[in-house]
Amino acid sequence: MLRLEDVRFAYSHAADAPRFRFDMGVEPGTIAGVIGASGTGKSTLLDLIAGFQTPQAGRVVIDGEQVTGLPPAQRPVSILFQNHNLFEHLSALENVVLGLAPRRRPTAADKETAAAALARVGLAGFEDHPALNLSGGQAQRVALARTLARRSRVLLLDEPFSALDEDNRADLTPLVRAAVTEHGGAGVLVTHDLNDCERLADRILEIRDGQLHEVG
């Protein structure tokens, strides 16, 4: 489903610049958890899959198609960050609709789909709420609604629970799983929190010395 084949990357040619070499595969309907201390390359891994960084060598493959040279918008990928997932001056519904119609005027069907996605994450009635006024948990739900509505094949999770309390984590876990599994997609969760990894991931890898190692 998602494969990184000998993907090599360095931010600069300097001798002391960190170098990364990633090999991994994620099966359909599963989530791979990646742990590692700050600065070990967790975000770099996600940037390479999403297309924000281009590898110096190797291939990124999604559903059998190589996407290595494609810009982020042309990859079937959605991302859920720890925060700043929403455009704060837009409403909850507008944020979700934006994911469905990023380059055209939204239709009534787009708005219906977005409203249904909001209802699914427990935010029916919050359509017109400005994103700025939402709590951390509500904001993550709106971002998740957008992800659900977009039906992307790959969901990248960049410490999505770090800013949330335990109740919100418990509520959001099945929703995140559903976003990944119900369309047979794949997920990659990066986090420094082993508990989050165990809660959500089907297998766990660790980034050490710029490479991925299976740990469980």
CB 146 within 8 A of CB 98: yes
Strands (E), 88-185: 154-158
Min dist CB 214 to other proteins, Å, is 28
Among residues 102 and 174, whose Cβ is nearest to other proteins?
102
Q: Is 126 helix (H, G, I), strand (E, B) or coil?
A: coil
Among residues 144 and 206, whose Cβ is nearest to other proteins?
144
Crossing angle between the packed helical segments 108-120 and 92-100, to the nearest 10 degrees: 120
Among residues 88 and 214, whose Cβ is nearest to other proteins?
88
Min dist CB 103 to other proteins, Å, is 6
CB 53 within 8 A of CB 9: yes
Binding site for other proteins (CB under 8 A): 50-52, 54, 71-74, 77-79, 81-85, 87-90, 98-99, 102-103, 158
CA separation for the pair 107, 3 (Å, rounded): 35
Min dist CB 78 to other proteins, Å, is 7
Listed residue (21, 11, 10, 153) closest to 74, CA to CA: 153
Min dist CB 87 to other proteins, Å, is 5
Among residues 80 and 201, whose Cβ is nearest to other proteins?
80
